[in-house]
Amino acid sequence: MSFSLIDTIAFLCFATCWIGYTNFSRLKAKNTDCISRCLHQHRIHWMNSLLSRDVRVGEAALMANIERNIAFFASSTLLVLAGVLTLFAQVDKLEEVINSIPYASAPNHALVQVKLGVLVGIFVLAFFHFTWAMRQYGFLNVMIGAAPYDSTGRDKALFAYARQMATVGDQAAHAYNYGLRCYYFAMASLCWFWNPHALIIASLLVVYTLYRREFHSRAVKAFIAAQNELEINAKTRGIDYIK
């Protein structure tokens, strides 16, 4: 089995973009306002606020809605996997389709199977992320059910418990985000069937899109503004659970 140099470079670029951006975003989020950082602050506020509510029907509804969205992606991933695995039995027809695309590289039978294998690996990884997110949200449901009731909303001894609930929710959200990121890079990997140059360009575009949305979108600006309001509100109440 022999692959061209440009195919090797394209795949290395794809892997570097994915792994590199994942590590970059995780490190940058520790000291830069972004969606994940701001959402974590909101989760701390949310978990602390629910301690002062004796009836938590609203939290149950919100958690059910989140889990339903993740379950949709988890089940959809299995359907996509089934479709990709089916293509292994139709490689010859797939090569005919690729040959009919303008400017497409001449298909290599072994390389086409490798490309399909990459897609399978991506969606298997996505499935694991989605199911792990669902499990962690289930853990969070247990913690919410066990959360004590604080009628004053000022018991600082319970802030640590609220933080731990927010941490579990944050980890679940990260797993969900990683699953979605698999879909983004799966879209990029589809371009490899066309030609390796398209894979390189698509990988870079995915990184640019993710960076813009997670660090410089209007949603981030709105989250930052809302976070500042939460901090001001917390200080006026004499509590410091936000930071």
Mean per-residue pLDDT for 26-55?
Answer: 88
Residue type, 234: A
**In angstroms, rounded to a whole number, what is the distance separating the alpha carbons of residues 34 and 174?**
13
**In angstroms, rounded to a whole number, what is the distance separating the alpha carbons of residues 9 and 195?**
12
Residue 222 lies in a domain: yes
Q: What pLDDT shows up at residue 85?
A: 93
**How many residues are there in the chain?**
243
* Count of domains observed in the chain: 1
Q: What pLDDT shows up at residue 49?
A: 85
CA 29, 224, 126, 206 torsion: positive or negative?
negative
Residue 163 lies in a domain: yes
Residue 242 lies in a domain: no
Neighbour tally for 171: CB within 10 Å: 16
Cβ atoms 194, 103 nearer than 8 A: yes
- Residue-number span of the structural domain to which 167 is assigned: 5-236
Residue 232 lies in a domain: yes
Residue 64 lies in a domain: yes
Residue 100 lies in a domain: yes
Residue 241 lies in a domain: no
pTM of the full structure? 0.90
Neighbour tally for 157: CB within 10 Å: 8
Tell me the pLDDT tens digit for each residue of 114-158: 999 999 999 999 999 999 999 999 999 999 998 888 877 667 778
Tell me the pLDDT tens digit for each residue of 152-204: 766 777 888 989 999 999 999 999 999 999 999 999 999 999 999 999 999 99
Tell me the pLDDT tens digit for each residue of 48-68: 888 888 888 888 899 999 999
Answer whether residue 238 shows pLDDT above 70.
no
Residue 106 lies in a domain: yes
